[in-house]
Amino acid sequence: MNRTDEPAVVESWNEWDPLRHVIVGRADGGCIPPPEPALDAKVPEDSDMRGQWGPRSQETVDRANERLDAFARLLEKRGVRVDRPTPIDFNQPIATPDWRTESMFGCMPPRDVLLTVGKEMLEATMSYRCRWFEYLCYRPLLQRYCEDDPAMRHEAAPKPRLTDADYRSDYLSERIGVEKRLKWTAEKHFVTTEEEPLFDAADVLRFGRDLVVQHGFTTNLKGIDWLRRHFPDHRVHAVNFPGDPYPIHIDATFTPIRPGLILNNPDRRLPDDQRGLFERNGWEIVDAARPAHNSPPPLCYSSVWLSMNVLVLDPKTVCVEATEVHQMEQLDRLGMEVVPVDLRDAYAFGGGLHCATADVRREGAREDYFPKG
Ligand code: DAV
């Protein structure tokens, strides 16, 4: 059922059932966007990216694309159907009636934009202005899935206005310091305000009839409330991870591997008062292995914890970045077959193996993994 000339079927309920069809991003035309409120809050204070913006070099684009193409071929060899987005010219100014910015971002991390829940693919609101139009890169695919699969639901969350009222001005300061950032994030004082619903798809993890959503820089409480109203047959759980000074996207922090097992970033542990759901239902939360690297690659937004940004192919098989020896060893010890994937050269374009993909179809149905509420 994986031939590309056969009609696509959209359905995926969790992060681990056997993967059958996936989108893998592209690095083409990737840009470092100019300063804007929410993005600046995420760029670490000591990062080589501060003050730089513009198109990334062709050499880094080509190398990232080589890695992404090889990843796509590896998945295809394993019987997974792979689609790719259609890049637009990201290096051009964009505007709405409320704001203007000089460039866009790219289409390497489809996971940030697209949330597949059952038969639905939902375009997230996003929270950076430079990513406002990113959904356009996926529209050719979503239109095709819609034509192929009469039961597929293509949805888009309300486009946010993203005026200055969406962002806390105290995050605009150049030098906040990690200590103050940790205090703020522990108090859930994030860069985004509650002006309007905001979420990135990569803040959401799917566990059958439960969705676990990170409240942080890229997703606010109104965004989580919107998801709760939008998915009335799901239970939506808000979580937050106080040890993270730059909390965006849950997928380098909390990584389900198979029913009953989650890796948690040991620097960003789930607070005790949020563990009940998992503990009551026999789920084990284990500390993820330390990353193999002390620093991210050049011009990269993400932290070294992309080590745990893995792609599960089925409950016994997991793709891990090939240099992440400690993470590979830990998953091997936990009984998984580990497939190494060379992707570090693509990290700067928006993340690791989980970020670089978005589910179209996994086998399996919607299950209740948390029967004890
Ligand atoms: O640890 O920098 C990266 C998540 C990318 N989707 C981090 C989070």
Nearest CA to ligand 1 atom 5: 351
Known catalytic membership, residue 314: no
Residue ranges per domain, the chain?
Answer: 19-362
CA of 140 to the centre of ligand 1 (A): 27
For ligand 1, residues with CB inside 6 Å are: 202, 248-249, 251-252, 302-303, 305, 351, 355
CATH 3.40.50.300 correct for 19-362: no
Q: Which atom of ligand 1 is nearest to the CA of 301?
A: 2
CA of 361 to the centre of ligand 1 (A): 24
316 token code pair: 């016994």
CA of 252 to the centre of ligand 1 (A): 5
> What per-residue confidence (pLDDT) applies to 368?
98
CA of 145 to the centre of ligand 1 (A): 28
> What per-residue confidence (pLDDT) applies to 51?
80
> What per-residue confidence (pLDDT) applies to 11?
98
Residues 296-335 pLDDT 10s = 999 999 999 999 999 999 999 999 999 999 999 999 999 9
Known catalytic membership, residue 249: yes
HEC readout, the chain: CCCCCCCCCCEECECCCCEEEEEECECCCCEECCCCHHHHHHCCCCCCCCCCCEECCHHHHHHHHHHHHHHHHHHHHCCCEEECCCCCCCCCCEECCCCEECCCCCECCHHHHEEEEECEEEECCCCCHHHCCHHHHHHHHHHHHHHHCCCCEEEECCCCCCCHHHECHHHHCCCCCHHHHHHHHHCCCCCECCCCCCCCHHHEEEEECEEEEECCCCCCHHHHHHHHHHCCCCEEEEECCCCCCCCCCHHHCEEEEECCEEEECCCCCCCHHHCHHHHHCCCEEEECCCCCCCCCCCCCCCCHHHHHCCEEEECCEEEEECCCHHHHHHHHHCCCEEEEECCHHHHHHCCCCCCCEEEEEECCCCCECCCCC
What residue ranges of the chain have pLDDT lower than 50?
A: 1
> What per-residue confidence (pLDDT) applies to 24?
98
| Mutate-to-test residue for ligand 1 from 134, 302, 304, 343, highest number of ligand atoms within 8 A of CB | 302
> What per-residue confidence (pLDDT) applies to 1?
45
> What per-residue confidence (pLDDT) applies to 3?
62
Nearest CA to ligand 1 atom 3: 302
| Mutate-to-test residue for ligand 1 from 251, 265, 349, highest number of ligand atoms within 8 A of CB | 251
